[in-house]
């Protein structure tokens, strides 16, 4: 999923300075799962913004909505009846959702309430960790199902650096060394000998190297 964290209150307050009425829009997908921008977080932020405004001696009208998927035009359309009544939209979706709202409603400013972080997975209650950087040419079949691009701090594709210590990355004890994990997994799968297959320099055109990417599926278009 795409993970995100809420921005500090002051920053959000700064963005909506001068607004009397806002539409605060959550999303029911990834940001709900990572507890950053679902219905519950929308309600919490709405209350927080109103309180902060009151302290400044201003009234703030907050309308709350949570869409099924904010990155999908079909659902974003649900905002249309409300958009003219507000000074701004504050989006609690990931950056994709924020942009979809901005694309649909040309005249109303849209502000992000979240910092979008990474594509990751949950490692336990309240913990999410990065897993994939969307390189567009997945190597996981060669690396035992553990991604060296997203999970090695130096993006090494051919083995651990000289700083790997007791299974941890040289950048800190709270980060697993991706290559330690890959090696352990290769052993479990009995494919240690495959470690010595050199992974050649990557063609980053499948990733960001080629500019903004697009998928076009003729069969669906």
Q: Which residues bind ligand SF4 (CB under 6 A)?
A: 132-135, 138-140, 147, 149-150, 152-154, 156, 160-161, 163-164, 169-170, 177-179
Taking the least distance from each CB to other proteins, the nearer of 77 and 137 is: 137
Q: Under the criterion CB under 8 A, does residue 210 sit at the interface with other proteins? A: no
Sign of the CA dihedral running 154, 160, 125, 1? positive
73, 100 in Cβ contact below 8 A? yes
The residue (of 99 and 206) whose beta carbon lies closer to ligand SF4 is 206
Tell me the sheet residues that pair with 172: 169
Q: Which is nearer to other proteins, 122 or 158 (CB)?
A: 158
Of 117, 97, 110, the residue nearest 15 (C-alpha):
110
Min dist CB 147 to ligand SF4, Å, is: 3
Nearer to other proteins, 28 or 115 (CB): 115
Query: Phi and psi at residue 48, in whole multiples of 5°?
Result: -65, -45
Distance CA 118, CA 134 (A): 10
Q: Are 35 and 75 in contact (CB under 8 A)?
A: no
Question: Does residue 153 bind other proteins (CB under 8 A)?
Answer: yes
What Rg do the C-alpha atoms of the chain give, in angstroms? 22
State the binding partner of 158 from other proteins, ligand SF4, none, CB within 5 to 8 A by kind: other proteins
Residue numbers at the binding site for other proteins (CB under 8 A) = 153-167, 170-172, 177, 179-180, 183-184, 192, 195-196, 198-201, 204
């Amino acid at each position: 999923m795409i993970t995100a964290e809420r921005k500090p209150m002051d920053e959000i307050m700064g963005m909506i300075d001068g607004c009397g009425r806002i539409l605060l829009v959550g999303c029911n997908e990834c940001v709900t799962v990572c507890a950053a921008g679902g219905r519950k977080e929308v309600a919490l932020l709405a209350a927080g913004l109103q309180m902060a405004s009151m302290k400044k001696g201003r009234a703030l009208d907050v309308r709350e909505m949570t869409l099924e998927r904010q990155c999908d035009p079909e659902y974003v359309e649900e905002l249309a009846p409300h958009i003219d009544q507000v000074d701004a939209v504050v989006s609690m979706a990931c950056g994709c959702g924020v942009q979809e709202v901005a694309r649909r409603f040309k005249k109303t400013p849209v502000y992000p309430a979240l910092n979008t972080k990474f594509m990751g997975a949950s490692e336990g209650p309240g913990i999410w960790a990065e897993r994939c950087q969307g390189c567009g040419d997945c190597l996981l079949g060669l690396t035992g199902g553990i991604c060296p691009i997203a999970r090695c701090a130096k993006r090494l594709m051919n083995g651990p650096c000289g700083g790997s210590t007791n299974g941890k990355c040289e950048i800190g004890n709270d980060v697993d060394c991706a290559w330690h994990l890959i090696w352990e997994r290769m052993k479990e799968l009995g494919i240690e000998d495959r470690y010595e297959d050199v992974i050649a320099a990557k063609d980053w055109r499948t990733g960001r190297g080629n500019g903004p990417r697009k998928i076009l599926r003729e069969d669906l278009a």
